[in-house]
């Protein structure tokens, strides 16, 4: 394999919302390249539906302080409060910045950005849901991605599309570049850099039922872990309450924001029991758990593992009346089928296409779906990657977006806060990486810079066993869904961990059919499954150790949150084949942990 070398001051891995925002800012000061395994506009940010949060107060009173408190509470007090405050106070400025770039938000009749309610976002004085999610129909992420990509093209950002990064180059403890394979040729490329930003998105493909794209294989996190750096809070993975039954495809929380309700086999709107104040708009961990309990107790539809999400106008109007929901002008909230079609066009389309169900006429069968990684590569508010529990910075290495853990989402993310996280911390990453790069020199590149990347591929290509990658992946996904999902027990997690280790051993003996150079998806899929196995192992080990229930980590055997012993972040290293866990305190500023009531 030949190796080509490139040199840029800042190299960004990933062209989703976080990577593109970073690129826009980094490229203003430093020579910048964006490397992406997908064509940029195919990044998962484009699948985001419901909206981006900002306390604009366009429809009703709202304040960044309320947004901050809701996020702290939603995080089950595990989020770092300095970072959360920073993000929520920056939100209005960033949303207006997107608007000025040309993002076609939905509008109020006066021409302001329209906002809708979303789970966990409240008026802190009344406790009622507040309209905080800015949206472009149910394709907000698509619009963000297209807008940012256009801006990057306009500003001459350099892209290496369909290049998959396999390794991070570290010299003298500093980030010095990355190694990537060019998908079309199979050639290896070394990107020599002064600063590297990791923005590779999440890893929902660890689980069987997921809303995540096929490309969500945790590459960035796995690469960093292999460099001897830790991953933070990996036990916290969000299950979104409403995935299409069996397929996992997401039905946005915006459906419930527009008045849709969850219904069990008895025709009951069961969220009243679990969250009497905000009901169907409780935070995601609360709703997913309620759904599991309903199904476990036999109230799934026809006794099966699904429930109904009902957004038929007659249902919405019935419950809006019961809840006393009003429009901003105080008139009763009532909707027509046309309005639902207008507000949720893609959802209606998905349901018709994948289920043959028309949501304005029939309820949608849904089940919780693996959705979002709260944990990831640890960073501080400046997005600098951290090497340990003391906050030691890895010079030149930055991370932003879903693969990073700042931590603004703590143990549970609120809907619409990820798109916000991308633009706020994507921008920080771009600014700080460029600033660092302009003041730093290129570290000399070692002669063997590409060796580790090559050896990973060679190990797969030369493996002589009979194991099929697809079988190993299926067993991992099933085990993780069953035992490290919405509900967890000591025994189940231990079994999952043992199974993952067995699968990792079997992975040493795989067989792939394609040994060619061009577009070898067999090879790269195998490499990605290797990443998922590493991530699954860290997730199960971190979860097993945490003996409490908090946010998305819910244990049958330790059902209560335990602030005395567990108000702390997990850091996990992989050393000599073992997972080493250490802990660091949560940053608390204004808000003392309280019991969460919804
Ligand atoms: C279906 C769905 C709906 C959602 N809806 C919302 C919503 O309404 N509101 C909200 O706030 N959040 C939502 N989220 C969450 C949010 O969209 C994601 O967390 C966010 O878009 C992640 O952005 P990112 O920039 O970190 O990663 P992505 O947008 O996924 O981009 C990752 C990039 O990394 C690249 N990459 C990955 N690995 C490599 C590699 N090895 N080498 C090179 N490049 C690589 C990819 O090519 C891609 O360009 C949703 C998520 C899903 C799945």
Q: Best of 141, 256, 371 to mutate for ligand 1, by most ligand atoms within 8 A of CB?
A: 141
Exposed e or buried b per residue across 389-412, where buried means at least 16 C-beta atoms within 10 angstroms of its C-beta: beeebbbbbbbbbbbbbbbbbbbb
pLDDT at residue 329, as a whole number? 85
300 lines ligand 1 (CB under 6 A): no
Lowest mean pLDDT among 212-221, 276-285, 524-533: 276-285
* pLDDT (average), residues 236-260: 94
Distance from C-alpha of 171 to C-alpha of 80, rounded to nearest angstrom = 31
Which of the residue ranges 12-26, 337-351, 496-510 would you say has the lowest mean pLDDT?
337-351
pLDDT bucket at 1, cuts 50 / 70 / 90: low
Residue 445, exposed/middle/buried by CB under 10 A (0-12, 13-18, 19+)? Answer: middle
What proportion of the chain, given as a percentage, has pLDDT over 70? 100
3-state SS, 269-280, equals: CCHHHHCCCCHH
Find the 325 Cα to ligand 1 centroid distance in Å. Answer: 33
For residue range 168-181, what is the model confidence (pLDDT) as tens digits? 999 999 999 999 99
CA-to-CA distance for 20 and 183, rounded, in angstroms?
A: 21
For residue 297, give the 3-state DSSP assignment. Answer: coil
Q: How far is the CA of 374 from the centre of ligand 1 (A)?
A: 13
Rounded to 5 degrees, what angle do the CA atoms 547, 549, 551 make?
Answer: 135
Average pLDDT, the chain: 96
The β-bridge relationship of strands 188-192 and 3-7 is parallel
pLDDT band of 597, cuts 50, 70, 90 = confident
Q: Rounded to whole angstroms, how far apart are CA atoms 510 and 504?
A: 10
- Does 597 sit behind a cis peptide bond, omega within 30 degrees of 0 on the bond before it? no
Report the pLDDT value the prediction gives residue 254, as an integer from 0 to 100.
Answer: 87
Are residues 316 and 258 in contact, defined by beta-carbon separation less than 8 angstroms? Answer: yes
Instruction: Among 45, 49, 215, say which to mutate for ligand 1: greatest number of ligand atoms within 8 Å of CB.
Output: 45
Q: What is the pLDDT of residue 595?
A: 87
**Catalytic residue positions, numbered:** 284
Q: Is ligand 1 within 6 A of the CB of residue 401?
A: yes
Instruction: Kindly give the distance from the C-alpha atom of residue 255 to the centroid of ligand 1, in angstroms, as a whole number.
Output: 21
Check whether 569 has a pLDDT greater than 60: yes
> How far is it, in rounded angstroms, from Cα 476 to Cα 480?
6
């Amino acid at each position: 394999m030949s190796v080509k070398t490139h040199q840029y001051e800042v190299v960004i891995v990933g062209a989703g919302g976080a990577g593109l925002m970073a690129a826009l800012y980094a490229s203003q000061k430093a020579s910048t390249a964006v490397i992406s395994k997908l064509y940029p506009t195919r990044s998962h940010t484009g699948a985001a539906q419901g909206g981006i949060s900002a306390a604009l107060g366009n429809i009703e009173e709202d304040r960044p302080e309320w947004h901050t408190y809701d996020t702290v509470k939603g995080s089950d007090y595990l989020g770092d409060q300095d970072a959360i405050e920073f993000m929520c106070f920056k939100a209005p400025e960033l949303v207006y910045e997107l608007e000025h770039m040309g993002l076609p938000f939905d509008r109020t009749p006066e021409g302001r950005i329209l906002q809708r309610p979303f789970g966990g976002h409240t008026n802190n004085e009344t406790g009622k849901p507040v309209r905080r999610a800015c949206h472009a129909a149910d394709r907000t992420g698509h619009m963000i991605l297209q807008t940012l990509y256009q801006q990057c093209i306009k500003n001459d950002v350099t892209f290496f599309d369909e290049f998959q990064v396999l390794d991070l180059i570290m010299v003298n403890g500093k980030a010095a570049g990355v190694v990537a394979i060019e998908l079309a040729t199979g050639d290896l490329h070394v990107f020599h850099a002064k600063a590297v930003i990791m923005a590779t998105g999440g890893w929902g493909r660890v689980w069987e039922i997921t809303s995540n794209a096929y490309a969500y294989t945790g590459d960035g996190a796995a690469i960093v872990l292999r460099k001897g750096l830790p991953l933070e809070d990996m036990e916290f993975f969000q299950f979104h309450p409403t995935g299409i039954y069996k397929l996992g495809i997401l039905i946005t929380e915006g459906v419930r924001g527009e008045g849709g309700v969850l219904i069990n086999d008895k025709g009951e709107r069961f969220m009243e029991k679990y969250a009497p104040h905000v009901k169907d708009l409780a935070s995601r961990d609360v709703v997913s758990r309620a759904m599991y309990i309903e199904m476990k107790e036999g109230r799934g539809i026809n006794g099966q593992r699904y429930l109904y999400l009902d957004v038929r106008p007659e249902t919405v109007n019935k419950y809006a009346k019961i809840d006393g929901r009003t429009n901003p002008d105080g008139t009763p909230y009532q909707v027509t089928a046309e309005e639902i079609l207008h507000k949720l066009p893609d959802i209606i389309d998905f349901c018709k296409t994948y289920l043959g169900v028309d949501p304005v006429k029939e309820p949608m069968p849904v089940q919780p779906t693996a959705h979002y990684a709260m944990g990831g590569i640890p960073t501080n508010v400046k997005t600098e990657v951290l090497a340990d529990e003391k906050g030691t910075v890895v010079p030149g290495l930055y991370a932003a977006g879903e693969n990073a853990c700042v931590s603004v989402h703590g143990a549970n993310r609120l809907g619409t806060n990820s798109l916000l996280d991308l633009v706020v911390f994507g921008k920080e990453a771009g600014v700080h990486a460029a600033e660092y790069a302009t003041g730093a020199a290129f570290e000399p590149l070692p002669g063997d810079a590409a060796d580790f990347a090559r050896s990973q591929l060679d190990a797969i290509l030369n493996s002589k066993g009979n194991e099929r990658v697809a079988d190993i992946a299926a067993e991992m996904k099933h085990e993780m869904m069953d035992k490290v999902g919405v509900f967890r027990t000591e025994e189940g997690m231990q079994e999952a961990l043992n199974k993952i280790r067995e699968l990792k051993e079997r992975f040493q003996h795989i067989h792939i059919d394609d040994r060619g150079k061009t577009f070898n998806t067999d090879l790269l899929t195998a490499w990605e499954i290797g990443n998922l196995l590493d991530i699954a192992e860290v997730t199960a080990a971190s979860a097993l150790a945490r003996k409490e229930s908090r946010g998305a980590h819910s244990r049958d055997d330790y059902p209560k949150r335990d602030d005395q012993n567990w108000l702390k972040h997990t850091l996990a290293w992989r050393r000599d084949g073992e997972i080493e866990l250490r802990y660091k305190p949560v940053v608390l500023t204004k808000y003392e942990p309280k019991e969460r009531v919804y």
